[in-house]
Chain A
Amino acid sequence: MEDYLKVVHKISREEEVASTTKISKALRVAPASVTEMLKKLAEKDYVKYSPYHGTTLTKKGLKIAEKTARKHRLLERFLHDVLKIDNIKVHEQACEMEHTLSDDAEESLCRFLKHPDSCPDDGKIIPPCDLKISSCAECVQLHKRGLEEVGKHKQNLISINKLKDGQFGKISFIRGGHKVLQRLLDMGLTPGTRISVLRVAPLGGPVVLAVRSSKLAIGNGIAKKVFVEIEE
């Protein structure tokens, strides 16, 4: 099931909706069984499926897809950085492992790897965890006291370098060490602050944010670590 959501997520990011043929090709499964599975997923409200227009993820489905992507990319990091497995091989291995990794193990892995922000083979951003915290420093602190009491984010978070010109968002999570975090806080990016993206430079360039009536340019490397809740 997670594989389906993953594929739908990937295809629909490229072309809005995922057609059944595309999905069946990507998964190497017969179109008939794809249709059947999609219907089942639609019943559970993971996808919006219409036979003629194709399939898109619902919010619930997106959440699972992102979570799977997170586990996948964290595992890739682990396989590559710690076990020193070759870059070309990590993807396949991680594909197998991602389904069996528990949420607790995922959190521990993230802390163990010191909160990485992208995967080793193609540099995709690792989605943030769904704990209701606003920084990694907090995760480490909370871990010392046991994590049980932490709530979870309801919304999907998105990093600000993925926003489009003119989009609004509310700062909800900043990944990374004390230093970067402190600097961003000083510049006014405290949790809950409303920001809008004025410009996203092409080719992995920086973004310009409007924060507290000032304009702030933030490099891509740091923008990747700042996650917002999109306002609807």
Chain B
Amino acid sequence: MSCHSESTEKPNNRKNGKKLTIALAGNANVGKSVIFNQLTGSNQIIGNWPGKTVDRAEGSLCFENHEISVIDLPGIYSFSTFSLEEVVSREYIAKEKPDIVINVLDASVLERNLFFTLQLIEMNAPLVLCLNQIDIAKKKGMIIDKQKLEKALGVPVVLTIATRGEGLYELIESAVKVATKDTKRKKINYHKDLETRIEKLTQLIETEKIDLEYPSRWIAIKLLEGDTEIIKLVKSKSAKIVDISYILSQELSTIHDEPCFSIIASERYAYASMITSSAIKQNEVKNTFSEKLDWVTTHKVFGYFIAIGVITGLLLWTFIVGDFLSGLISEGLSFIEPLDPQISGPIVSIIWNGIFNGFVAGVTLVIPFVIPFYFLLAMIEDSGILTRVAFMMDSIMHKIGLHGKALIPLILGYGCSVPAIHACKIMESRRERLLAAFAITFAPCAARTLVILGLVGVFLGPIWALTLYAVDLILIFLLGKIAMKVVPGKSTGLIMEMHSFKVPSLSVVSKQTWTRTKSIIFMVFPIYIIGSAIVQALYALDLLTPISNVMSPLTVTWLGLPAITGILLILGVVRKEFILLGAVAIFGTTNLLGPFNPVQLITLALVAMLYIPCLSTIIILIKEFGWKAATTISIANIISAIIIGGLAYRLLEIIL
């Protein structure tokens, strides 16, 4: 189903022509992105925790002469306007009117998933239902009657197992069928009290002819629900409609003794529950392995051990692998050495030399180190353990103004801060996203791990490196606590679906590992190469010393480091590894125990770890939170690094 994607022509000849748009919508973690990747060959993030897809993604495929563009939407539970993702999806479906919406459902949680389906039907979206994960449903003893479901909802239903690609052909087939033929849609009738009022309001909206992009029935329901956005929108066209909707909703809440939005939610659920009980036969099943795992991982003793095991295990794993590979690292570095330093000769050859060094550093540092880490991370993500860790750690995370879910981006931050900060969108409020992002800027990411291993692990042994990790984790907690006090506002509570455990799929895991490694390589290599060339050039032009001297009050007097570290710290803003690479290049030796004493190595590693988010992180901070927040976070990092670095230097002087 792949396609040569030449998407230069405009989609002007829809339907009878060949260009179609399909949107994938549904609850979180139902398998939308797996389907999207399968259809389009893209590399959307996949994992067994809710909220991975935060922005909409686009891809394309060819199917029987149809050029189809597919949109992957963030997972949502409802069309209220309380979260960003809900707004994104709602606007997309209502305004851009895709030719077809594939509503992906988790077959094993049908009732809750149908709650959203009913809202799509209210929106009058052209629908195909994709009941995914039927393998899991089967394991839970559920037998699904597809025909009954189709009849009850009046939309085609396709059963799929997305991870194995089963049913996807039929899915596209029936989607194209719905899109190209004008099929009649069934109307869902709610309870009489509610239905008559919805209809009254719908008719009023239609006779008043307020021209909104949303379907009338949907607007009517939203008005009754008291959706503030829609009320504002309608009010600007016709205040009368809003007034009448208010009266109608008051009538309803008098009859049912409940606020109107609650009546409507209850009504949808009543409907969903009715359909579910007729379409699913539930057989008794024994306690499955997944249930037992659930029992252990949320246990009040074992659960904590497992949670801490995951949090530290991932670090330890990178550490052990990294330690093993540190042999390779130093070999890589010694590979640089003979070529270095080249300060004479034409500037071009000097720069060329730098470029070559940067490339070698990239290959030997990044690839063997990053791949094993991302492999384990993908396994952990795809298993479903992360939501359990989030559950166990919820009360601890509250101490830094966050809730358990924030732990997930934090753990992603072990790899690279950039995608981790992006993942902070799973937090509910801006304040929480900001606090989580702040914590992530201190997380021991791959670059920091390299610096710690390269400066401390290799020369002073693993104990000191592990100590630095521990210090880092403690600092995240302490600084997070301070940040929580400084940033005003209240924390929201945790509301998170916990999906059943799954055996990680090898193809998903390996693909994901590769995707992430690739993106690191693309990010890192140019920076390494250019940066390395610049160091060489500065070196040749004899500019290193003057720049370093400017910073010497800080580096020499307060932190007790050699003056030349000034330039290293400046370079490290681009990528932390430069502190290590630069040191090797400048001193012309891989044995850093010569130019630095042990105290200085530890202090430098500590400062390097904390002192500023790297350039790519700063850029994403600006993108997500704006200049002001990004600057504040960076300054906070610098200040804490200076204070902690200085104190550590004085303390270490005493100990060592």
Q: Could you say which of B77, B80, B394, B491 contacts A201, with CB atoms under 8 Å apart?
A: B394
* CB pair A212 B109 closer than 8 Å: yes
* Minimal Cβ-Cβ distance residue in A for B387: A217
Chain B 564-576 interface mask (CB, 8 Å, partner A; 1/0): 0000000000000
* CB pair A186 B77 closer than 8 Å: yes
If A132-B257, A138-B258, A219-B404 touch, whether A186 touches B110 (CB-CB below 8 Å) is no
Chain A 197-228 interface mask (CB, 8 Å, partner B; 1/0): 01101111110100111111111111100000
**In the complex, chain A residues whose CB is within 8 Å of the CB of B253:** 138, 141
If A211-B112, A213-B111, A219-B403 touch, whether A134 touches B262 (CB-CB below 8 Å) is yes
**How near does chain A come to B222, taking the closest CB pair, in angstroms?**
12
How distant is the Cα of A54 from the Cα of B257 in the complex, in angstroms? Answer: 42
Q: A183 within 8 Å of B by Cβ?
A: yes
If A145-B254, A202-B300, A211-B112 touch, whether A216 touches B496 (CB-CB below 8 Å) is yes
* CB pair B395 A203 closer than 8 Å: yes
CB under 8 Å from chain A, chain B span 482-513: 491, 493-500
**How near does chain B come to A223, taking the closest CB pair, in angstroms?**
8
Q: A191 within 8 Å of B by Cβ?
A: yes
How distant is the Cα of A192 from the Cα of B258 in the complex, in angstroms? Answer: 12
* CB pair B258 A134 closer than 8 Å: yes
**How near does chain B come to A22, taking the closest CB pair, in angstroms?**
30
CB under 8 Å from chain B, chain A span 172-204: 178-188, 190-193, 198-199, 201-204
Q: Could you say which of B109, B259, B491, B494 contacts A217, with CB atoms under 8 Å apart?
A: B494
**In the complex, chain B residues whose CB is within 8 Å of the CB of A199:** 298, 391
Q: A135 within 8 Å of B by Cβ?
A: yes
If A145-B254, A213-B109, A219-B404 touch, whether A187 touches B498 (CB-CB below 8 Å) is no
* CB pair B110 A213 closer than 8 Å: yes
* CB pair B262 A216 closer than 8 Å: no
**In the complex, chain A residues whose CB is within 8 Å of the CB of B108:** 213
* Minimal Cβ-Cβ distance residue in B for A211: B112
Chain A 87-105 interface mask (CB, 8 Å, partner B; 1/0): 0000000000000000000
How distant is the Cα of A145 from the Cα of B254 in the complex, in angstroms? Answer: 9
Q: Could you say which of A141, A193, A204, A216 contacts B498, with CB atoms under 8 Å apart?
A: A216
**In the complex, chain A residues whose CB is within 8 Å of the CB of B115:** 186, 188
Interface of A is mostly: mixed
Q: B261 within 8 Å of A by Cβ?
A: yes
If A184-B495, A216-B497, A219-B493 touch, whether A190 touches B109 (CB-CB below 8 Å) is no
* Minimal Cβ-Cβ distance residue in A for B391: A217
Interface hit among B163-171, B265-273, B578-586: B265-273
CB under 8 Å from chain A, chain B span 223-270: 226, 250, 253-254, 257-259, 261-262, 265-266, 269
* CB pair B269 A138 closer than 8 Å: no
**In the complex, chain B residues whose CB is within 8 Å of the CB of A203:** 395
Q: Could you say which of B78, B254, B259, B300 contacts A186, with CB atoms under 8 Å apart?
A: B78
How distant is the Cα of A186 from the Cα of B111 in the complex, in angstroms? Answer: 12
Chain A 37-69 interface mask (CB, 8 Å, partner B; 1/0): 000000000000000000000000000000000
Q: B390 within 8 Å of A by Cβ?
A: yes
How distant is the Cα of A134 from the Cα of B210 in the complex, in angstroms? Answer: 35
**In the complex, chain A residues whose CB is within 8 Å of the CB of B190:** none
Q: A137 within 8 Å of B by Cβ?
A: yes
Chain A 114-152 interface mask (CB, 8 Å, partner B; 1/0): 000000000000000000111101100110010000100
If A201-B300, A201-B392 touch, whether A191 touches B494 (CB-CB below 8 Å) is no
**In the complex, chain A residues whose CB is within 8 Å of the CB of B494:** 206, 217-219, 222
**In the complex, chain A residues whose CB is within 8 Å of the CB of B497:** 187, 214-217
If A186-B78, A217-B498 touch, whether A205 touches B259 (CB-CB below 8 Å) is no
Interface size on B, residues (CB 8 A): 45
* Minimal Cβ-Cβ distance residue in B for A209: B498
* Minimal Cβ-Cβ distance residue in B for A145: B254
* Minimal Cβ-Cβ distance residue in B for A199: B298
Q: B82 within 8 Å of A by Cβ?
A: yes
* CB pair A220 B493 closer than 8 Å: yes
**How near does chain A come to B297, taking the closest CB pair, in angstroms?**
10
**In the complex, chain A residues whose CB is within 8 Å of the CB of B499:** 215
**In the complex, chain A residues whose CB is within 8 Å of the CB of B500:** 215
**How near does chain A come to B302, taking the closest CB pair, in angstroms?**
12
* CB pair B262 A190 closer than 8 Å: yes
Number of A-B contacts (CB under 8 A): 139
How distant is the Cα of A135 from the Cα of B263 in the complex, in angstroms? Answer: 12
* Minimal Cβ-Cβ distance residue in A for B267: A190
Interface size on A, residues (CB 8 A): 47
**In the complex, chain A residues whose CB is within 8 Å of the CB of B303:** 201
* CB pair A182 B80 closer than 8 Å: yes
* CB pair B111 A212 closer than 8 Å: yes
**In the complex, chain A residues whose CB is within 8 Å of the CB of B394:** 201, 205-206, 217, 219-220
* CB pair A186 B391 closer than 8 Å: no
Among A137, A138, A150, A212, which residue has the most Cβ atoms of chain B within 10 A?
A: A212
If A188-B111, A188-B112, A213-B112 touch, whether A182 touches B261 (CB-CB below 8 Å) is yes
**In the complex, chain B residues whose CB is within 8 Å of the CB of A212:** 109, 111-112, 269, 273
How distant is the Cα of A199 from the Cα of B498 in the complex, in angstroms? Answer: 12
**In the complex, chain A residues whose CB is within 8 Å of the CB of B266:** 185, 190-192
How distant is the Cα of A178 from the Cα of B298 in the complex, in angstroms? Answer: 30
* CB pair A138 B259 closer than 8 Å: yes
**In the complex, chain B residues whose CB is within 8 Å of the CB of A214:** 109, 112, 497
* CB pair B298 A187 closer than 8 Å: no
Among B108, B112, B493, which residue has the most Cβ atoms of chain A within 10 A?
A: B493
How distant is the Cα of A129 from the Cα of B538 in the complex, in angstroms? Answer: 74
**In the complex, chain A residues whose CB is within 8 Å of the CB of B387:** 217
How distant is the Cα of A108 from the Cα of B261 in the complex, in angstroms? Answer: 24
How distant is the Cα of A103 from the Cα of B78 in the complex, in angstroms? Answer: 38
If A199-B298, A213-B109, A217-B498 touch, whether A187 touches B77 (CB-CB below 8 Å) is yes
If A188-B269, A217-B390 touch, whether A206 touches B109 (CB-CB below 8 Å) is no
How distant is the Cα of A19 from the Cα of B266 in the complex, in angstroms? Answer: 46
* Minimal Cβ-Cβ distance residue in A for B27: A214
**In the complex, chain B residues whose CB is within 8 Å of the CB of A205:** 391-392, 394-395
How distant is the Cα of A213 from the Cα of B390 in the complex, in angstroms? Answer: 21
Chain B 414-452 interface mask (CB, 8 Å, partner A; 1/0): 000000000000000000000000000000000000000
If A137-B259, A219-B494 touch, whether A187 touches B395 (CB-CB below 8 Å) is no
CB under 8 Å from chain A, chain B span 360-419: 387, 390-392, 394-395, 398, 403-404
**How near does chain A come to B201, taking the closest CB pair, in angstroms?**
19
How distant is the Cα of A199 from the Cα of B266 in the complex, in angstroms? Answer: 25
* CB pair B109 A201 closer than 8 Å: no
**How near does chain A come to B283, taking the closest CB pair, in angstroms?**
13
Chain B 87-112 interface mask (CB, 8 Å, partner A; 1/0): 00000000000000000000011111
What 3 A-B pairs come out closest when comparing CB atoms?
Answer: A219-B494, A219-B493, A222-B493
| Known contacts A141-B253, A187-B497, A206-B404, then 20 further A-B pairs from the complex at CB < 8 Å, ordered by chain A residue | A133-B258, A134-B257, A134-B258, A135-B262, A186-B78, A186-B265, A187-B495, A190-B262, A191-B262, A198-B294, A212-B109, A212-B112, A212-B269, A213-B109, A215-B294, A215-B500, A217-B394, A217-B404, A217-B496, A223-B493
Provide 17 A-B residue pairs closer than 8 Å at the C-beta atoms, listed in order of the A residue: A135-B259, A138-B258, A141-B253, A184-B495, A187-B497, A188-B269, A199-B298, A199-B391, A201-B298, A202-B300, A204-B395, A212-B109, A213-B111, A216-B497, A217-B390, A219-B494, A222-B495
B binding-site residues for A, Cβ under 8 Å:
77-78, 80, 82, 108-112, 115, 226, 250, 253-254, 257-259, 261-262, 265-266, 269, 273, 294, 298, 300, 303, 387, 390-392, 394-395, 398, 403-404, 491, 493-500
